[in-house]
Amino acid sequence: MKRRLQIAVVTCLIAIGSIASADIRLPGFYGDHMVLQQQKPIVLWGWADSGENVKVTLGESSRSAQADADGKWRVELPAMTASNDSYVLRFQASNTVELRDVVVGEVWLCSGQSNMEWSVRASTNAADEIAAARYPLIRHMKVAHRPSTTPIDDVDSEWQQCSPDTVGNFTACGYFMARELHKQLNVPIGLINSSWGGTRVEPWTPVSGFADVPKLEDIHQSILGRSPSTPQYKDRLADHIAATEKWIEKARNAAAGTEVEPNPAFPAELTPFKSHQDPTMLYNGMIHALVGYSLRGAIWYQGESNHGEGMLYTEKKRALINGWRDLWNNGDFPFYFVQIAPFQYGNEDPAILAQFWEAQAAVQEIPNTAMVVINDIATLNDIHPPNKQDVGLRLANLALKHDYGKSEIVAHSPELDSVASSDGKLKVTFKSTGGGLKTRDGKPATHFEVAGADGKFEPASAAIDGDSVTLTSDNVAKPVAFRFAWHKLAEPNLTGGTGLPVGAVRGGDLPKE
């Protein structure tokens, strides 16, 4: 049963009058069944009367804090180890609020666009998956769609236990990841689902993220110019007021019947953002209120709405990841993301998606990030591949390898290691192959091309030898560069030894674009 987190106001009669004492108010996403992150300080906050003392108790731990001048209080409980036991989380001041069936485990933020929001109900084999979803220690909460021009301090959401009655609306990527983590770790898993179909990366990014990426300074300045508290806004508004006052004086002088020019238009650069696609709008409305809630890391599935931007997308992801990390003040927490699948994308250049895949792969230069490749489970006529089971499993394996001590797991797709040219052949060597390269269907490797000094790419034959592929082409006597899966509809068959697919890549002495 859903708990409402505000208790009725307690009215106390004092002397000849009465004073209303405001009750503790908790963030709207605190509630029964919530999951707290293990092995990290448990940070909790809320609101009360200024100066009021608030005591927070969880198990054998308790801490007190006093509400500040704005009525906000914050406590930090000691880190706890995950268990399958549940707790009562108690907040006490002039009133008492109790949250029940609170568990300590692993918490992951799930964000992005429609492929993250995509539900279990809409995924492959949905009926059987829903019927089998009896994992009460997997918990999920969904943040409502809400853009905002300014950061919002609260969101209202409900934690749900995983069951056949609830799982249909869970994020499928998140759920299938959580299911594998729960099976392997035997601890509660919490999913915070803050996603919105069709959205770009810019609205999810805080202003501080843009500020730290020089190539995005134009976006940063655009945000500052729309913020009434900034010097940029005040100076531009002052210029507009002066111009308007000057026009008014001219208009008064022309009242006798002479012509007057139109009044100055309000500057477009001062107009507040309105669309949920504008920079910072979804960070403000759907992420800001969560900042500070302890979590293990984030998973991300997005890019379709930015797919025409090439390497600029790498910079935008840098702004988002570093912006979130700085504000959370939780170190370089893991950030795992999904490379978008092959798709038709209308009449666009066939290479446009390959260039975007290259930009996504480059995001892995940011510390503690990793990417899942899914060109083997695409649906070329549908931008939403329904096989989210493999996506979730691959995300889980990244976490198991890097965050949960399962170092033996081969969680990464093969990646380019070196390129060597000799005797009319090009030898391309990969790393992280999981025991050598192979093809998914037992046929020769597809989607390789080579180019000579003229920069003209031609189809190439590929011979696999362990971690390497030797490329030749009758049309290129001396190959110096290669590219692989360099087409928006590419569904190559090359994999590592564990079956993880090789993603689009190019190398060698590449021609200048």
Residue 7 pLDDT more than 90? no
Query: CA 486 to CA 353: how far, in whole Å?
Result: 8
Q: State how beta strands 96-112 and 189-195 pair.
A: parallel
Query: CA 341 to CA 354: how far, in whole Å?
Result: 10
- What pLDDT sits at residue 445? 98
- What pLDDT sits at residue 196? 98
Residue 245 pLDDT more than 70? yes
pLDDT band of residue 256 (cuts 50, 70, 90) is low
Residue 513 pLDDT more than 80? no
DSSP string, 316-334: HHHHHHHHHHHHHTS-S--
Q: State how beta strands 425-431 and 415-422 pair.
A: antiparallel
Kindly state the helix (H) or strand (E) to which residue 210 belongs, with its residue range. Answer: helix 207-211
The residue-averaged pLDDT of 199-206 equals: 98
Tens digits of residue pLDDT in 358-409:
999 999 999 999 999 999 999 999 999 999 999 999 999 999 999 999 999 9
Q: Where are the beta strands (DSSP E) in 118-260?
A: 135-142, 160-162, 189-195
Tens digits of residue pLDDT in 168-178:
999 999 999 99
Pairwise pLDDT comparison (268 vs 1), residue with the higher score = 268
- Cα atoms in the Cβ-side hemisphere of radius 13 Å centred on 495: 18
Arithmetic mean of pLDDT over the chain: 94
- What pLDDT sits at residue 14? 31
Tens digits of residue pLDDT in 296-329:
999 999 999 999 999 999 999 999 999 999 999 9
pLDDT band of residue 19 (cuts 50, 70, 90) is very low
- What pLDDT sits at residue 258? 72
Residue 446 pLDDT more than 80? yes
Per the DSSP assignment, residues forming a β-bridge with 25 are 6, 47
Query: CA 321 to CA 340: how far, in whole Å?
Result: 18
Query: CA 213 to CA 398: how far, in whole Å?
Result: 27
The residue-averaged pLDDT of 196-222 equals: 98
- Distance (Å) of CA 470 to CA 415, 448, 450, 454, 490: 16, 10, 11, 20, 20
Q: Is 127 helix (H, G, I), strand (E, B) or coil?
A: helix
Can you give the pTM of this predicted structure?
A: 0.93
Q: Is 482 helix (H, G, I), strand (E, B) or coil?
A: strand
- What pLDDT sits at residue 252? 86
Tens digits of residue pLDDT in 462-511:
999 999 999 999 999 999 999 999 999 999 999 999 999 999 999 999 99
- Within 10 Å of residue 257's Cβ, how many Cβ atoms? 5
Domain residue spans in the chain? 227-270, 415-508
Per the DSSP assignment, residues forming a β-bridge with 96 are 92
- What pLDDT sits at residue 428? 98
pLDDT band of residue 22 (cuts 50, 70, 90) is low
